[in-house]
Amino acid sequence: MIIANNVTKKFGKLTALNNVSATCGKGQCIALIGPNGSGKTTLVKCMLGMVIPDNGFITFNEKNILHDWLYREHIGYMPQIGRYPENMTIGQLLNMMKDIRFKSGGQSLDEDLVKAFKLPDLMQKRMRTLSGGTTQKVSASLAFLFNPDVLILDEPTAGLDPVASEILKEKIIAEKQKGKLVLITSHILSELDDLVTHVIYMQDGNLLFHKSIDRLREDTGEQKLSKAIASVMQKN
Ligand SMILES: Nc1ncnc2c1ncn2[C@@H]1O[C@H](COP(=O)(O)OP(=O)(O)OP(=O)(O)O)[C@@H](O)[C@H]1O
């Protein structure tokens, strides 16, 4: 579905991605893991067309994304830090997004998270007045709202309270079961245990490994993702 082919991205002298290749398929939930600054967000942004690789290319459903922005209709993106027009209310923001997406032939709406996070009670609140966690709830709701085939979630549970975090995890599992591709970056490895089918591990811009969770468990003899990753890191 999404394939990164030998992607390299430099910011000045820093190589944020070094010849990274990865194939991400339908029905997979892939955890992008690695230390701070290892290139996870840069890889995700390359997939979204927000960062253009210096070398290599990305395909979405076998088409190079470089000159074809329409593929983004099929992706729901939850950024690490969502930035929104601060004077808009939540209601205005959701309506604006519906307007934009439906004009470009958007998909059916999925308001499960809007309801589960009780956003209808907060529609009059302006974005600048929201707590960090509520802004995250808006970001999550927007990512799932247009029923996309692919969900790219960058640190999705950061700032969410335990109840909201659980609601989001259940939603991710439900969407994966429908055959969607979910890419998720997180530092809270314990949260990923019930979710992920595959792990991509990044370090210093290099993709160190890309394995199914079963394979990773087999190779390390550890059941928990956090322990399996720790075991791999100790060996490197
Ligand atoms: N626009 C940019 N300009 C300059 N350097 C950048 C830019 N974006 C990212 N970088 C650098 O590229 C490297 C990789 O950053 P990236 O955000 O991809 O890391 P990450 O693995 O997502 O980190 P974290 O876990 O902290 O979110 C970092 O050293 C970062 O400072």
| pLDDT of 132 higher than 90 | yes
Of the listed ranges 78-87, 105-114, 140-149, 179-188, the least confidently predicted one is 105-114
Spell out which residues line ligand 1, taking CB within 6 angstroms.
11, 14, 16, 34, 36-42
| pLDDT of 21 higher than 90 | yes
Residue located nearest, by CA, to atom 4 of ligand 1? 11
pLDDT for position 106: 52
Quote the ligand 1 centre to 103 CA distance (angstroms).
33
* Phi and psi, residue 67, nearest 5°: -115, 25
Residues 6+ positions from 101 with CB-CB distance below 8 Å: 73, 107, 145, 146
pLDDT tens track for 31-87:
999 999 999 999 999 999 999 999 999 999 999 999 888 899 999 999 988 999 999
Residues 6+ positions from 150 with CB-CB distance below 8 Å: 1, 2, 74, 75, 76, 180, 181, 182, 183
User: Which atom of ligand 1 is closest in space to residue 34's alpha carbon?
Assistant: 21
Enumerate domains of the chain plus CATH numbers. Answer: 2-235 (3.40.50.300)
Does residue 230 or residue 198 have the better pLDDT?
Answer: 198
pLDDT for position 33: 94
| pLDDT of 233 higher than 80 | no
Tell me how many helices (H) and strands (E) the chain has: 8, 10
pLDDT tens track for 182-228:
999 988 888 888 889 999 999 999 999 999 999 999 999 999 998 99
pTM of the model: 0.92
